[in-house]
Chains A and B, each alone.
Chain A
């Protein structure tokens, strides 16, 4: 059987019926990674040995009992973005600086997956420290888009999205600071969720920008995504910014909700001015499907895109410049040889260890926080962020979800921004809104571009803490897309 094209939910059913063992499934995926990943470069590390050990243990200890109550993740392989710490498995952040770093502990999100019987099969490629949106800024080579290997898979969670899209793994964890789950999910034609800020613990997520970083799932379909979300969401006392109280489970309620009467905000003018035609058409098709389901479409205006983008890059770079200070070559990571002074050791280790994009952002962030600049730029960015949050509060009194494109265009060709690296920052315009406002947002494919065969996705943003609404509307849309495809087929 070709398991590797199945969704997490389908695999889960097979495991529950004991039609397949965890070991069989794990070996199947490892074999496929070995066969195919050299073309894609989605993985930095394949943890074959420990995965097989875990899978065997799950077969013997859990699946051998006749228990009916099994968690949907039991025995199923998962890939983890390489900025989430995995105890005993190398965690590099795609940086030369951490190329040999083996953490002594696991990230809380990883621990939760392990607790539910997930099998960690490997660590996925990314833009170094999460900085980038193409997976080209990795010290260990680029990842290619499985739908067209001449193009980027998006980033920074590009390895996770490419692995899921190409069936190298049924699901993966990513992290999202300004769009790093949603954009690669869209580029690769899979489903990626950025939960509300604080919904999933950041403990063990190697920080890029602490006030924006989130952890979320990438899957082939919406309901599987919700199942993973349920497993990793919840308060963690080890993360002081973690949301208080229990997270409401989503997967059991996702099918009940009707979207009829739901008010959907669409920033028509922003879409008009900032996207190419194919993207516009994709968003319009989604809008039409929602209309058809009885939703109310409302034209809205989002905060100024240039200010939003500037605030995002100012805040994220400022925080990054401080978060990345610990990579000094003293306690772990790469240390330059033959240094005569401590300052030389810092300079050389960091010069060798960090890639260009990381250096660019550290420099920018250091500048923005400097005594003379802080008030003029950093504090203004914080002020702008507060204003954006308030704008969204107002918008959400008039609508229940907001739909935007994920990206202004189709996945671009590898190397496009090589000569002007910061020009690609503007590609993030649609995703940074939810990041700055801390809101849950999902990215899901809505249609296929006929000429390239690439998938085009949209983003659904919900109110703070209202992941359920986001999932319900995504699930309804996903079903409606399937129905309409079926109708098309019937017409033919």
Chain B
């Protein structure tokens, strides 16, 4: 992404809600939705005298996320108060980690537009509490504290991305990794994953860092990409027009695709960070780290490598499958049930993958493997295979082979029947017949094609070819 001789320098701060059952400092439920303020208690509403107690599950989930992102665990970290006033912040401060984060120095890999592997550094991951939600209605503002105290991890990347595509790949990969480890559902539309993006620009070849702006709270990967593109060009155009980039927070407007200034950071907020005296230091044992490392599932990168080497998938196909935990789980099961792995993979990518996100019944992995085998053995053709994939979900209990027999879907190999098909085709295409007889050998193809069409694709192509040549 180069524009008028400039490139962008981009770093992300991504907030993810952890999927623990209870909040970070009290035992209230973290369930999304629910009647306003029904998941609250004196602790998460900041009542006088209430005190926080750390939910150890939050620490475990965060460490799991960190290990999956190749981070080092700080065996002793702290909780710090970030002080500011806002109506959705019950205590007048957020309990976060400022000085020493729980995790640091990780990375993840993405592939850029040219298929190059890029290593994106992760500076730190820390745990903190979410705030409540303001609801503006009829000139009034109401506050729902159900979300207050829901555990978050903030994942801070190094400023090492340069294009909107890289940003999108990074977010996709991050989501895949976090979802696959089960620590977060990363539903951007429900706000359980949101990104703040720092953007600055510099002339190509320059390696210094310049003044950056921060685009706040992006709630979809596509918006993130568009926001970066817009902000990058805006900054370059501003500079080329003799203007200056100011350190500020900006908001992305989905409708116009533009970013707008929210507040200048010149009179930067002073959060007056200090160690929270209500919480002891957070210590993590080697045993805990080891046991969490041992329970990590196969991570996307390992999966991709395995798919490429064991099943000869292309990098693109492997990434496509590895991106979704549901897809790779299905694929992992199905692919072990057949020897015809290439055929299964093609059927899976073409027919199964698009349906996995939707809430529709899907053919079971074992039936898909069976269909694959029927197809590879020439018992059925491609069209029938597709038909079976949709039919097997509807016809509970029947195997693909049973359906083939019952519905007479098998290949037509009987020479008599194939001749009948050809006779019909010859009658329908007298011109093709005369063309062929006048030496246009290619005309036979249209006759074979017509016969195949009449058979609804079930005619054995080899026999059909032989017989066609004989007849003509």
Contact = CB atoms under 8 A, between A and B. Distances in A.
A370 B272 contact: yes
Given A325-B92, A326-B90, A369 B278 contact: no
B270 interface: yes
B42 interface: yes
Nearest to B91: A326
Interface stretch (A147-155, A200-208, A414-422): A200-208
B49 A346 contact: no
Interface stretch (A70-78, A236-244, A303-311): A236-244
Give the bracket for the number of chain B residues in contact with chain A: 20 to 34
A343 B85 CA distance: 9
A202 B274 contact: no
Interface in B51-84: 51-54, 81, 83
B85 A328 contact: yes
Contacts of A238: 51, 53
Contacts of B48: 85, 91, 93, 98, 101, 103, 206-207, 326-327, 332
A298 interface: no
Interface in B254-278: 270, 272-274, 277-278
Given A98-B48, A325-B85, A326-B92, A240 B277 contact: no
Nearest to B54: A240
A346 B52 contact: no
A322 B93 contact: yes
B280 interface: yes
Nearest to A379: B274
Given A241-B280, A330-B143, A322 B274 contact: yes
B45 interface: yes
Interface string A97-116: 01001011101000000000
Interface in A159-210: 202-207, 209-210
Given A103-B48, A237-B53, A322-B81, A371 B272 contact: yes
B90 to A, nearest CB: 7
A211 interface: yes
B87 A330 contact: yes
A332 to B, nearest CB: 7
B90 A369 contact: no
B87 A342 contact: yes
Most chain A CB neighbours (cut-off 10 Å) among B45, B85, B272: B272
Contact of A203 (B45, B49, B91, B93): B49
A282 to B, nearest CB: 35
B88 to A, nearest CB: 9
A400 interface: no
B272 A239 contact: no
A210 B278 CA distance: 6
A331 B49 CA distance: 14
Contacts of B274: 318, 322, 369, 374, 378
Interface in A351-387: 366, 369-371, 374, 378
A85 B280 CA distance: 23
A319 interface: yes
Interface string B271-294: 011100111100000000000000
Interface string B122-147: 00000000000000000000010000
Interface in A322-350: 322, 324-328, 330-332, 342-343, 346
A85 B42 CA distance: 12
A206 B47 CA distance: 9
Given A342-B87, A366-B272, A369-B83, A326 B46 contact: yes
B398 interface: no
A321 B51 CA distance: 17
B50 interface: yes
Contact of A107 (B49, B54, B90): B49
A205 B277 contact: no
A206 B87 CA distance: 21
Contacts of A107: 49
A237 B52 CA distance: 10
Most chain A CB neighbours (cut-off 10 Å) among B45, B52, B90, B278: B278
Interface in B31-52: 42, 45-52
B337 to A, nearest CB: 50
Nearest to B276: A210
Contacts of B85: 325, 328, 343, 346
Interface residues of A, number: 46
Contacts of A366: 272
Given A206-B48, A331-B45, A240 B280 contact: yes
Nearest to B42: A105
Contacts of A84: 49
B272 A369 contact: yes
A371 B270 contact: yes
Contacts of A319: 277
A203 B51 contact: yes
Given A322-B83, A374-B274, A332 B47 contact: yes
Interface in A381-438: none
A94 to B, nearest CB: 13
Nearest to A236: B51
A91 B47 CA distance: 12
Contacts of B42: 103-105
A203 B50 contact: yes
A321 B273 CA distance: 12
B5 to A, nearest CB: 37
Most chain A CB neighbours (cut-off 10 Å) among B48, B50, B90, B280: B48
Contacts of A332: 47-48
B90 A331 contact: yes
A312 B280 CA distance: 20
A210 B91 CA distance: 14
B45 A328 contact: no
Interface string A228-271: 00000000011111000000000000000000000000000000
Contacts of B278: 207, 210, 240-241
Interface in B329-373: none
Contacts of A331: 45-47, 90, 143
A104 to B, nearest CB: 7
Most chain B CB neighbours (cut-off 10 Å) among A105, A205, A328: A328
Contacts of B53: 237-240
Contacts of A370: 270, 272
A342 B279 CA distance: 30
A366 B143 CA distance: 27
Given A326-B91, A374-B274, A240 B49 contact: no
Interface string B5-41: 0000000000000000000000000000000000000
B43 to A, nearest CB: 9
A93 B48 CA distance: 10
A202 B278 CA distance: 10
Given A240-B278, A241-B277, A326-B92, A103 B87 contact: no
Nearest to B53: A240
Contacts of B93: 322, 325
B59 to A, nearest CB: 13
Interface string A465-479: 000000000000000
B278 to A, nearest CB: 5
A211 B52 CA distance: 14
A91 B279 CA distance: 25
Given A325-B85, A371-B270, 20 more contacts: A91-B48, A93-B48, A104-B42, A105-B47, A202-B51, A203-B50, A210-B278, A237-B53, A239-B51, A240-B52, A240-B279, A241-B279, A322-B274, A325-B83, A326-B48, A326-B91, A326-B92, A330-B143, A331-B90, A369-B273
27 contacts: A85-B48, A85-B49, A93-B48, A103-B42, A103-B49, A203-B51, A206-B48, A207-B48, A207-B278, A209-B277, A210-B278, A238-B51, A238-B53, A240-B52, A318-B274, A319-B277, A322-B272, A325-B83, A325-B93, A326-B90, A326-B91, A328-B85, A330-B143, A331-B143, A366-B272, A371-B272, A378-B274
7 nearest CB pairs, A to B: A325-B92, A211-B277, A210-B277, A369-B272, A204-B49, A206-B48, A326-B46
